[in-house]
Amino acid sequence: MKRVYSLLFIWVLCVSCDYSFDLNDPDVREFVFRLKNGTYECYITSSSGERLGLQMPVFQMKDIPDLLKYAADTTHIENFPINPSSRISGSHLEDETYILGECLLWVVEGIRLNKVYPSQQPILTEATPSGTQTLIGAEVLEVCSLYTQWWENNQHGDWPDIDPLEGSSYSWL
């Protein structure tokens, strides 16, 4: 646990990023563009300059509509900011790819829960009779629809307390 706190402290202090991208007031369109073309390079770095992982921008409620707009994109991307504890625990595979829309829905889930990282990784699972499986693009689109409906129905009310996945067979890894 001490190692986790030490790494988190280092991450907070040492972030390198292209200064044209504001981590504290990110532009969703620019974030998506950079993720898709592999140029999102806002890294958490150690005091020696070693890249430890990508830094998650600070998204807010105002960003949810734009995040949902892009969440229907099932493009596979190679890099995305993941929960630092998944790197430490070894649950992250270095050659893993992600579905962009799934990642953006994970960001929305983080905003809903008021957490930077709502779970270990931006990966949805579905409970099936034969076990739990990760999703493919078509299923991510179904989840995108659930989140879009949740937002349309609750954006002016108690949206953080309503789980878009409640009653479905989907959950976050």
Q: What is the DSSP string of 20-86?
A: TS-TTS--HHHHHHHHHHT----EEE-TT--EEEEPPP---GGGHHHHHHHTT---EES-----HHH
pLDDT tens per residue across span 101-159: 999 999 999 999 999 999 999 999 999 999 999 999 999 999 999 999 999 999 999 99
Give residues with Cβ within 8 angstroms of 57, minimum separation 6.
Answer: 21, 22, 23, 24, 26, 31, 42, 81
User: To the nearest 5 percent, what fractions of the chain are helix, strand and coil?
Assistant: 40, 15, 45
pLDDT band at 100 (very low <50, low <70, confident <90, very high): very high
**Polymer length of the chain:** 173
pLDDT tens per residue across span 7-22: 444 444 445 576 589 9
| Phi, psi angles (nearest 5°) of residue 159 | -55, -35
Provide the pLDDT for residue 94.
57
Of 52 and 78, the one with more pLDDT:
78
For the chain, the structural domain boundaries read 2-172
- Name which of 32-41, 81-90, 130-139 the model is least confident about: 81-90
Is the pLDDT at 74 greater than 60, yes or no?
A: yes
Residue pair 146/140 in contact by the 8 Å Cβ criterion: no
Rounded Cα gap, residues 27 and 21, in angstroms: 8
pLDDT tens per residue across span 42-71: 998 889 988 888 999 999 999 999 999 999
Q: Which of 125, 113, 121 is closest to 59 using CA atoms?
A: 113
Structure tokens at 153: 């129905």
Rounded Cα gap, residues 39 and 33, in angstroms: 8
